[in-house]
Amino acid sequence: MAETDGGPPPPHPVTASIVLGLAVGVFGVSFGVLAVASGLSVAQASAMSLLVFTGASQFAAVGVVGSGGSTAAALGSALLLAARNGAYGLSLADVVTGRLPRRLLAAQLVIDESTAMATAQVEPADRERGFWVAGASVFLFWNLGTLAGALGGGAIGDPATYGLDAAFPAGFVALVVPHLRTLEGRVAAAIGVAVALVLVPVAPAGVPVLAAAAAVLVGLRTPPAGEAPPELAAEEPS
């Protein structure tokens, strides 16, 4: 495999993708626990991970529902946070090719991790391999983690007893931190915080999260060639 000039060689797509998937699976366990604690059944939590498969949006939706927010507010927050995946899809247009069924399958796997793994590779074949292996690995372990957490969450009972009620906000902060490396990330975070602080005292539950999530549009852009989005080493799929 070719090396980049003046820098370390890119990560081996298969090995790195499996390790990344395992790390994300651990985060999936926390989502499963919190989803059940927020009122979802094991089947509903598992279906969300299978069909939605973007961790930041899933955590946002569950957080809104758990705090008493409306379904519309939960859906709006989730869609806004998932908007960046559309830009990732544009940047992967030359990586994922083929017939429509193949590209539709690939669309389900367009997340931070698969995009980062693909764009980190030098050779075209490695780019494609990195995308598919990373996407499949994260999908598998995220869903296994969700199922394990949902099943275990029912036995745990009230998450507040063990301090697990703090896992959602702590996890969300962990998702945000890597994106603060960029100017767009810092601006979006500042706008989101300001909007939430203004609305929390006066708006119904769920509305502050929905409004603050609109700040993600500040960073919605297609990464230039060779630029990977922030790689979240222990993040759920975003």
Q: How does residue 110 score in pLDDT terms, banded at 50, 70 and 90? A: very high
Q: Which of 62, 70, 15, 22 is nearest to 40 (CA)?
A: 62
Kindly state whether residue 8 falls inside one of the protein's structural domains.
Answer: no
pLDDT of residue 91 exceeding 70, the answer is yes
pLDDT of residue 201 exceeding 80, the answer is yes
Kindly state whether residue 166 falls inside one of the protein's structural domains.
Answer: yes
Q: 168 is in which domain, residue-wise?
A: 13-219
Kindly state whether residue 238 falls inside one of the protein's structural domains.
Answer: no
Kindly state whether residue 60 falls inside one of the protein's structural domains.
Answer: yes
Kindly state whether residue 227 falls inside one of the protein's structural domains.
Answer: no
Kindly state whether residue 4 falls inside one of the protein's structural domains.
Answer: no
Kindly state whether residue 230 falls inside one of the protein's structural domains.
Answer: no
pTM: 0.69
| pLDDT value of residue 80 | 75
Give the integer Cα–Cα distance in Å for 74 and 140: 25
Kindly state whether residue 237 falls inside one of the protein's structural domains.
Answer: no
Q: How does residue 233 score in pLDDT terms, banded at 50, 70 and 90? A: very low
User: Angle between the 112-119 and 124-156 helix axes, to the nearest 10 degrees?
Assistant: 160
Range scoring the smallest mean pLDDT among 113-127, 136-150, 210-224? 210-224
Which position has the token pair 């945000």?
176
CA-CA distances (angstroms) from residue 131 to 51, 93, 149, 204? 19, 12, 27, 40
| H runs (alpha helix) in 38-82 | 42-51, 55-66, 71-82
Per the CB < 8 A criterion, the answer to whether 228 and 17 are in contact is no
Largest CA distance in the chain: 57
Query: How many domains in the chain?
Result: 1
